[in-house]
Amino acid sequence: MKALNYGSLNIDFVYNVEHFVRSGETISSQNMAIFAGGKGLNQSVALAKSGIDTWHAGNIGEDGEFLAEILQKAGAHTDFITRLPGRNGHAIIQKQPNGQNCILLYGGSNRQNTKIQVDEVLSHFEKGDYLILQNEINEIAYIMERAHEKGMMIVLNPSPMDEEIFTYPLEYVDYFLLNEIEAKDLTGLGDSVGEVRGIETDELLDAVCSHFPNSKVVLTLGEYGSIYKDEKQKIHQPIVKVPVVDTTAAGDTFTGFFIGSIAKGLSPKEAMQMAAKASAIAVSRQGAAPSIPELKEVYDFGG
């Protein structure tokens, strides 16, 4: 059994700021750093480190060669990464002292996937293999159609959320991993449920599950933890409290370790615990991909 993550690879330009820049405002940053990132790359690093055989598919531009090296170092296969002329995808990230961030994306090479590439990549995978997707590349609907025909398990992290998501064959998704805003948008509940906390959180999760009755769902709630639901059970997983340094790859680390653990045969409860511990370690460190822990660190971590 293999995991194929068809996703973005970004160069993250991270600027430390006192507060996010406002409309019409110009501010100075205290410092800046460049990291490997992209929801796709981050999740591949986390998948590979969780111990599952991971293949990353996607494109890098002329300035993105180091991204493939980082994936290889993490233990992911890079045979399905295509080199393209032109700029790599990148992200401009503002980071506040409390670790919160806001992100501006440039798609670049991430938006240049072709159906021919997709067919070639998927020819190496079979029924039961896992396909992991986020929403930072083009041709997602086509990838899902072809993967479904093959009987692959489809995992979707619908992030960043946009209108195009509603054109995807969402009924094929076996696992959704999403936050409360994405859940509200996907179910059409908009702001009608107000602050999604306590009992309302469960209502929101139930709404996602009734929209997608064939899917298992993980709803992530930041500092309020996460909830898993399938047809038999609901599992509430609190966060593991740590000093927050940088939240950038928290969600990606959670997704990679959760799916990696499930694919390795752990129970949903065990997978939720592994994911919570791995993402706690990630938020206690700087950067996206560099903050993602090794499997041994996760096992050794308390909480």
253 is in an annotated binding site: no
Tell which positions 12-51 bind ligand RIB, by CB under 6 A.
Answer: 12, 37-39, 42
Is residue 252 annotated as part of the catalytic site, yes or no?
yes
Answer for which of 44, 78, 237, 248 binds ligand RIB (CB under 6 A) is: 248
Q: What tokens were used for 226?
A: 């996460």
Contact 143, 122 (CB under 8 A): yes
Within 10-85, residue ranges assigned H as helices are 39-50, 65-74
Q: What tokens were used for 187?
A: 């179910």
Rounded Cα gap, residues 47 and 259, in angstroms: 7
Tell which positions 176-195 bind ligand RIB, by CB under 6 A.
Answer: none
226 is in an annotated binding site: no
C-beta of 40 vs 268, nearer to ligand RIB: 40
Rounded Cα gap, residues 252 and 38, in angstroms: 9
CB of 26 to ligand RIB, least distance (A): 23
Catalytic-labelled residue, pool 53, 79, 252, 300:
252
**CA nearest to 248, candidates 132, 93, 98, 134:** 93
- CA Rg value for the chain: 18
Amino acid found at 294: E
Which residues sit in the known binding site? 10-12, 38-42, 136, 179, 220-225, 246, 248, 251-252, 282, 285, 287, 291
Which residues sit in the known binding site for ATP? 179, 220-225, 251-252
Binding site residues, ligand RIB, CB under 6 A: 8, 10, 12, 37-39, 42, 91, 103, 136, 248-249, 251-252, 288
Residues with active-site annotation: 252
Which residues sit in the known binding site for K(+)? 246, 248, 282, 285, 287, 291
